[in-house]
């Protein structure tokens, strides 16, 4: 982002937001009430990407984005009125409606009054979160790829690597997990990996010989993945010039970090579209529900879209478990780590890891942005 090359400087400025993420302390509270920004029209590039990756028509993509924006507002209201009976929620793309799970019918009418559909389930979100916390304390073998709270099944889903499902240590872990609470086992999983890469010229930022992607601009710097660098490590940009240093970093357990920006670099509220779509403005960090569409920007595979599959997932990397992640079916590749996840114009999180690639497909996890902002006391840079 040096001023010496105006065109490249503008591109680098955009790179400070070139992957999707969500929220912050200040921004999170602002996102509670819809503003004019919530109703801003989607860019043609975003609509085009959704048509390509989700198989939608232009009309369907536009309608889905509008329905998802409504669902974000409904989700917050429904969760409040459901109280202790709240069991989670998910967006149904076919109907364009949010479904809210509750454990009894006492609050049904109040929840339905928010505009949500209602599903009766056995366990509350609080009970499922407690079961997940107990499973988090177990020592997971590499044949278990992760586990997450699933509101639809009202259970904690344990994902097992398909080729390892009969391993004795995997079976022993599943047995222990079932003792911790309601568990469903999915034996079709793949082994996750982080998505950093060796140095490649011309890409967004480097720490030593590691290349990663910038997530979202915050005032004073940008957020990214924790596995990309340790506190105080220096960061250089696309042209090799100094950007700043990692001011905070956590991995494993979490996978987030932030880097200060100076030396002629600056921040802008933009996620880079890489020529595939128009660069996207970031207007907030309202959290997208399960089932919502979501897109990702990264320095290797650039711009791709998909849907949110699960929240509050523990991902069992070879380096250790990372908690409270969100799973998507958006593809990613090495070098995309730290990049942006965005839903509409709302930042969702920074790319952590996954399996597969953008040729054959796969799944990718992101660290939700609001937790990062809260942890470091940062404020998301918004348009």
Catalytic center residues: 227, 255, 337
C-alpha of 52 from chain center: 20
Judge contact between 174 and 157, C-beta under 8 A.
no
The bridge status of strand 221-224 relative to strand 270-271 is unpaired
Go through 293-332 and write b for each residue having 16 or more CB atoms within 10 A of its CB, e for each that does not: bbbbbbbbbbbbbbbbbbbbbbbbbeeebbbbbbbbbbbb
Q: Is 113 exposed, middle or buried (0-12, 13-18, 19+ CB in 10 A)?
A: exposed
Cα angle 35, 37, 38 (rounded to 5 degrees) comes to 70
3-state secondary structure of 33: coil
d(CA 323, CA 321): 6
d(CA 27, CA 15): 21
Return all residues near 79 (Cβ < 8 A) that are at least 6 apart: 86, 89, 100
Bond into 55 cis (ω within 30)? no
Cα angle 186, 315, 341 (rounded to 5 degrees) comes to 105
Helices and strands in the chain, H and E counts: 8, 23
d(CA 310, CA 162): 19
Q: Is 57 exposed, middle or buried (0-12, 13-18, 19+ CB in 10 A)?
A: exposed
């Amino acid at each position: 982002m040096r001023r010496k090359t105006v065109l490249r400087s503008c591109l680098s400025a955009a790179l400070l937001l070139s992957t999707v993420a969500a929220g912050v302390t200040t921004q999170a509270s602002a996102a509670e009430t819809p503003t004019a920004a919530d109703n801003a029209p989607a860019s043609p590039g975003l609509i085009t990407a959704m048509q390509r990756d989700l198989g939608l028509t232009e009309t369907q993509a536009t309608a889905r984005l509008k329905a998802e924006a409504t669902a974000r507002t409904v989700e917050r209201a429904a969760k409040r009125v459901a109280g202790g009976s709240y069991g989670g929620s998910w967006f149904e793309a076919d109907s364009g409606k949010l479904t809210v799970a509750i454990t009894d019918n006492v609050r049904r009418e109040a929840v339905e009054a928010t505009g949500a559909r209602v599903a009766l389930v056995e366990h509350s979100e609080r009970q499922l979160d407690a079961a997940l916390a107990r499973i988090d304390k177990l020592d997971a073998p590499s044949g278990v790829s992760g586990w997450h709270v699933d509101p639809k099944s009202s259970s904690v889903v344990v994902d097992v690597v398909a080729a390892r499902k009969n391993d004795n240590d995997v079976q022993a872990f599943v047995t222990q997990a079932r003792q911790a609470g309601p568990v469903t086992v999915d034996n079709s999983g793949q082994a996750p990996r982080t998505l950093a890469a060796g140095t490649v010229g011309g890409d967004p930022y480097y720490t030593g010989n590691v290349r990663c992607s910038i997530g979202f601009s915050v005032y004073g710097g940008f957020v990214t993945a924790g596995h990309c660098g340790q506190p105080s490590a220096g960061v250089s940009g696309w042209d090799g010039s100094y950007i700043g240093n990692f001011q905070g970093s956590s991995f494993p357990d979490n996978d987030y970090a932030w880097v200060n920006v100076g030396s002629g670099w600056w921040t802008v509220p933009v996620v880079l579209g890489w020529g595939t779509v128009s660069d996207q403005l970031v207007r907030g960090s309202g959290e997208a529900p399960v089932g919502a569409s979501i897109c990702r920007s990264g320095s290797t595979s650039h711009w791709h879209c998909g849907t949110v599959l699960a929240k509050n997932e523990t991902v069992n990397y070879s380096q250790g478990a990372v908690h409270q992640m969100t799973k998507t079916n958006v593809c990613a590749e090495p070098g995309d780590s730290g990049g942006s996840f965005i839903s509409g114009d709302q930042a969702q999180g920074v790319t952590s890891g996954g399996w597969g690639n953008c040729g054959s497909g796969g799944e990718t996890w992101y660290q939700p942005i609001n937790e990062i902002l809260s942890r470091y006391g940062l404020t998301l840079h918004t348009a």
